[in-house]
Structure 1
Amino acid sequence: MSLEFYAGIDNFKVDAKGNISITEKLAGSALKNKLDELQKLKADGVVRVTIESAVTRYTQKVDAETLEPVEYYERDTTGTWTTVQNEQLSLDVGEDQVIEREEEITADIIDSFLLTEKYELKSEFNPRKVLVRVAEGYSFDEIAKELDFESASDLLKKLNEARVEYAGMAKAWYEVKEDDDEE
């Protein structure tokens, strides 16, 4: 049995004996009716914990003069998210006029995008397949075995690489979604 959720680290302390206490803070809906499972895990007395940052950092290429992105993302007529080269810039911008700007977005937004939207796969790895299995309650160990990965950490590494690949697209989707929600 495993639980996957996003949380913030509220606090951690080290006592005189070297024991570490970590307090996580999450919205009540984050465990969506899984408090019974959490209680069972607590009763087991020992759990395996993997903590990783939910912030995905990626690089966006921009025109050094205008700071406009060299590429952007939009839905095509079929509803599929695609990468579009900024034509205004591509005529004037040489490789030496492009700078890289660091951007960040949280993994939960990217995961939401990967689960709900249409997009072209950028490699043979399908992140949606993994995220669907996680949502169904399978552990990363089980999914890794099913998909012939050496370990859960190898699968997680591949998933995080995919998150970086789709981060810009997910950010564009989220901004459109937020604008639609405000209207």
Structure 2
Amino acid sequence: MAELKGVGPATASAILCAGAPDSVPFMADETMDSVPGLGAIAYTIPYYLKFATKVIEKADELKAKGSKSVNSPHLVEKALWTDYMIDKYGIERETTTPKTLVSTNAKIATKVERNAESKENTSAKRKMDEPAKRGGSSENQSETRKKAKTATATTEPTPAKSTRSARSRS
């Protein structure tokens, strides 16, 4: 597949993984970073074969130990990806048993959503605090503007002396 025009090893792995997840892992950057001994990521067939071999070996090892939740190359790849994301977003890890795995995934999703909402709220709060940093809240600034407009509207303008007429008279 990687010999097709526009299809590299990563795309080929995605297509093959969709059709045969029990045999082929997907070539995700986060997953490849999590596999020890691969070196720098390279989007080549030899690199993918090295990566796939290690993931397939781990799946076989887990299967031999009786794992029912992570026992195929694609599930090992997904577990590595999840582990990478948990570290990336600083999500607290919990000890789980296979029975609680589903509820833990829901908790992780909730924590990721809360983290995203927290970042959005912080960003919105910063935008609201910007006027305060520049000299008061937006309410105080608008109140000051109203007072200034009222003060200028109530005072009568003083007539300006024309310098041109004074010069022309001399």
Whether TM-score is above 0.5 comes out as no
TM-score (norm 2): 0.23
TM-score (norm 1): 0.22
**1 or 2, which has the higher strand percentage?**
1
Bigger RCO of structures 1 and 2 (CA < 8 A, at least 6 apart): 1
**1 or 2, which has the higher helix percentage?**
2
